Structure 1
Amino acid sequence: MTLEHPSTHALSGWGRSVHRSSPVRRPTFDGGLVEAVLAEPRITVRGAGKSYGDAALPNGGIVLDMTSRNRILSFDQREGVLIVESGALLRDVIDQTLSLGWKLPVVPGTERITIGGAIASDVHGKNHPGAGSFGRHVRWLALLRSDGNIVQLSAGQDADAFWATIGGMGLTGVILHAAIQLQRVDTGWVVRNRRRTRSLDETLEAMQSLAARQELDPERHVIAWLDAHAPGASLGRGIVDEFYGASTLDLPGSVAPYPEARTAAARNRRSLPGPGLVSRATIAAASAARWHLSRSANSQLATLRSALCPLDRADSWPAAFGRRGLIQYQFALPPDELDVVRAVLVFLGTHGMTPALATLKTFGFDSAAPLSFPIPGWTLAVDLPARWVHGTLRPVDKLVAGAGGRVYLAKDAVTDPELIPVMYPRLASWQRTQRRLDPSQRWSSGLAERLGLLT
């Protein structure tokens, strides 16, 4: 069979701050995939394209789009083990397994990413203190190397390669399919408890008390929205949401245990012209309104999917930031570095960069994966108009690195590359394994080139 010529497409990350025009191949079967890999000297692996920055964008060469390889190969309903192709969306998995009493143990803010992307980014959810990140639940994976060989990897079978691929940002090879251990659930609902706080100290205190419960219960999810525009002592006041799995006893008699899936199709809304709708004035007004209109409340029912995946109700969010898009800057800090959270919020405010969105979560434990993002402690994510940034976050990079923290590679677009070995002290070990898996030096990405991950 003759390999078809790739077609050229305009690509971007979800934040729309970085754009590339690139040849794209979409092979659907193993033979065509191996042939495509061996035919190209430089390849970027791409899933659903939901990384905010340039993690799934090329810096030359071609893009290998995996979304056509999206089959669920098998599901053991007794043990909850799913074998699935890497191009399947989390949404596809949830559609097939939730009504059977099983769920993915880790889901980020969207179910519109691929299984391969979830593994390559080692994504985390709002339940990290109890569940860890996505890679912890991968039993094994099949990896296509750059020399055309397919190998099966697990924690017990070439562990170095397995953990280098988890969180490895698609730079060790093409994940073909994987076995994922799912988690039992009683229903497709959660119970939400909400607390409104009046200061950053109160927010942090509330989250610390909830983290202790999360460590004992992998189904307990916690996230805080912070008002980064509030003045003085009110800075960092917020809304702390805790969700936990609802049992059938929590449901009114008229409510079905598993709600009918009503996932709307993703719509690629065009970016608004110029600066869009996000400005200092609109951020201030929206932040004040959100805090004042929210109230503390307990025992409210919500669907599991709506609670865990708020981004899927925000198709227009990147478009609102205008033609230059948004930057999400997310970093993690050790547990005793809470002062850095306050320092970053103060820095952004005094430099005219109050975030349009700021969310805080707790992390529970480290991973064996050298490039995995979560470390024990805290993670703050802030959404900023890309037009505001222009290198102005370098002092924040230094604050984070100096505190023993790190940025999230899957969302990065701006970090100082000199600080990456400081933030990820096992980078050199990962690079040795990456070179072993990629003897042909085919794998690349905009992120890898910008941050020097492969050098």
Structure 2
Amino acid sequence: MSLDDPRRQDLIGWGRTVHRSAEVRRPAVDGDGLVDTVLAAPKITVRGAGRSYGDAALPGAGIVVDMTSCRRIVSFDQGSGVLVVEAGALLKDIIDQTFPLGWKLPVVPGTERITVGGAVASDVHGKNHPGAGSFGNHVLWLELLRSDGQVTELSAGKDADGFWATIGGMGLTGIILRAAIQLQRVDTGWLIRNRRRTGSFEETIEAMQSLAEQQELDPDRHAVAWLDGHGHGTALGRGIVDEFYSASTLDLPNGVAPYPELRVSGTRQRQSLPGPGVVSRTTIAAASAARWHLSRSVNSQIVALRPALCPLDRAEGWPAAFGRRGLVQYQFAVPPEDFGVLREVLEFLATHGMTPALATLKNLGFGTAGPLSFPIPGWTLALDLPARWLHRPDTLRPVDKLVAGAGGRVYLAKDSVTDPEVIPLMYPRMWTWRSTQQRLDPVGRWTSGLAERLELLS
């Protein structure tokens, strides 16, 4: 099958902070076109749906191979729940087809609009990580196109080092062609939500710690907290803690169908608002106060599963609200005993006039064997900041040092600002990963803006 005519395109990350122009190719998995493209290009960045906030799917040098045309569901065994799918398929494509059959993906991040290849390369996690782990825990095997044109099958039992270097490997070990994923049975498309409003940082942490213990025993239990980063004194870090667990057919009111009606939502990218947009210190303060004061502690609410777990799909215009310079999301993880670092980071931002537009906290359990996989046992806090506030590259260096000093790490899939010097401290198994990456990429073909900026391959 032939390639689309190569053409130069302007590409951006989802946060709209980084723009790159590159020659983009959209090959098909079958046939010789993809292999020919790989062998002809000295440097290649692999790109999926482009939902990474920063430069993980943007080129440093060379061409871009866009995998979104390779999106077939190859096979699905309704008895075992094993799905074989091409890497360019969106999680949404999978959910649309398997959900009505009583199967679901065990792990979804805050959006369904990422590709399978991106989910594997980022080893994405959901709100149920303590029990379910991350996406890579449910990958049975994958096919990888190496830089020498060879296709190899990887699994935990067949070249385990290569398999785990690819899971969380940020697309730098090769092009993921197909993956086999173990799905999970589901009775309904609904969840039961318990909501608790907390009055202090300490109360928020206590509530999330209690939920983490329950999550460890139940892979279907989800938890997330919104933190008020604008509060002062004891109010800093107060929040809203949501717990979700599966609703059975017996939990549903009379007349409610087991699966909510599928609603088709638009995916059109909104234009960035001019200048600074509408996100400012004043609007953040007002929105934070309103959100906390208007929320109430309520138990046993029935909510639809998909919008509850994937709120970003209802906020396609969110990055546009931050204006022309876009949005930086700084997401980091720290061990369970170092929850004080979370408050220190919020205090640093408040002191420097950088109250986050959004701050969400989740529990993390044990990660995968992937050396560059993000999750570690403990906490992860994601902070949305207007990029225009980060006047210098070193604005968040003190936060980097706080996180690294606690044995924590930043999420590479969302990064656009971290100091490259702290990355080896945050990812101490990077040296092991580099050795495997060089074996899988013998000609040094794979790259990305992220890899070059953070010196991941040097």
Match for 1:426 among 429, 435, 446?
429
For residues 36-435 of structure 1, what are the structure 2 equivalents within 5 Å? 36-389=37-390, 390=392, 391-435=394-438
The separation in 1 between residues aligned to 2:335 and 2:257, in whole angstroms, is: 42
Deviations 1:214-249 (A, max 9, x none): 011101000000000011111000000000010000
The separation in 1 between residues aligned to 2:100 and 2:21, in whole angstroms, is: 40
Matched AA of 2:43 = R
Secondary structure at 2:435's aligned position in 1?
helix
Matched AA of 1:16 = R
Matched AA of 1:179 = A
1:29 Cα deviation after fit: 3.3
Mapped contact 1:359–1:380 kept (Cα < 8 A):
yes
Matched AA of 2:381 = L
Name 1:446's counterpart in structure 2: 449
Matched AA of 1:117 = G
Mapped contact 1:168–1:371 kept (Cα < 8 A):
yes
Deviations 1:88-134 (A, max 9, x none): 00000000001111100000000000000000000000000000000
Deviations 1:272-323 (A, max 9, x none): 0000000000000000000011100011111110110000000110000000
1:366 Cα deviation after fit: 2.5
Secondary structure at 1:277's aligned position in 2?
coil
Deviations 1:379-431 (A, max 9, x none): 00000000111321000000000000000000000000000000000000000
Matched AA of 2:422 = L
The separation in 1 between residues aligned to 2:22 and 2:381, in whole angstroms, is: 33
Q: 4+ runs of 1 displaced by more than 2 Å?
A: 1-5
Deviations 1:142-188 (A, max 9, x none): 00000000000000000000000000000000000000000111101
Structure 2 gaps of 5+ residues are: none
Matched AA of 2:407 = G
The separation in 2 between residues aligned to 1:253 and 1:454, in whole angstroms, is: 57
The separation in 1 between residues aligned to 2:95 and 2:331, in whole angstroms, is: 26
The separation in 2 between residues aligned to 1:178 and 1:315, in whole angstroms, is: 28
The separation in 1 between residues aligned to 2:456 and 2:79, in whole angstroms, is: 41
Secondary structure at 2:153's aligned position in 1?
strand
Secondary structure at 2:353's aligned position in 1?
coil
The separation in 2 between residues aligned to 1:240 and 1:8, in whole angstroms, is: 45
The separation in 1 between residues aligned to 2:299 and 2:178, in whole angstroms, is: 41
Mapped contact 2:165–2:372 kept (Cα < 8 A):
yes
Matched AA of 1:202 = E
Matched AA of 2:423 = I
Secondary structure at 1:336's aligned position in 2?
helix
Name 1:32's counterpart in structure 2: 33
The separation in 2 between residues aligned to 1:77 and 1:366, in whole angstroms, is: 28
* TM-score (normalised: structure 1): 0.99
Name 1:18's counterpart in structure 2: 18
Matched AA of 2:396 = L
1:5 Cα deviation after fit: 4.6
Secondary structure at 2:373's aligned position in 1?
coil
The separation in 2 between residues aligned to 1:436 and 1:65, in whole angstroms, is: 24
Secondary structure at 2:337's aligned position in 1?
coil
Mapped contact 2:231–2:237 kept (Cα < 8 A):
yes
Matched AA of 1:411 = K
Mapped contact 1:335–1:376 kept (Cα < 8 A):
yes
Matched AA of 2:398 = P
Deviations 1:316-352 (A, max 9, x none): 1000000000000000000110110010000000001
Aligned pair in 2 of structure 1 residues 100, 4: CA closer, same or farther (>3 Å)?
closer
Aligned pair in 2 of structure 1 residues 4, 212: CA closer, same or farther (>3 Å)?
closer
Deviates more, 1:208-217 or 1:259-268: 259-268
Q: Is residue 9 of structure 1 aligned with residue 12 of structure 2?
A: no
Question: What is the aligned residue count?
Answer: 455
Q: Is residue 437 of structure 1 aligned with residue 440 of structure 2?
A: yes
Structure 1 gaps of 5+ residues are: none
Deviates more, 1:28-37 or 1:217-226: 28-37
Mapped contact 2:148–2:442 kept (Cα < 8 A):
yes
Aligned pair in 2 of structure 1 residues 7, 158: CA closer, same or farther (>3 Å)?
same
Mapped contact 1:3–1:35 kept (Cα < 8 A):
no
The separation in 2 between residues aligned to 1:97 and 1:203, in whole angstroms, is: 36
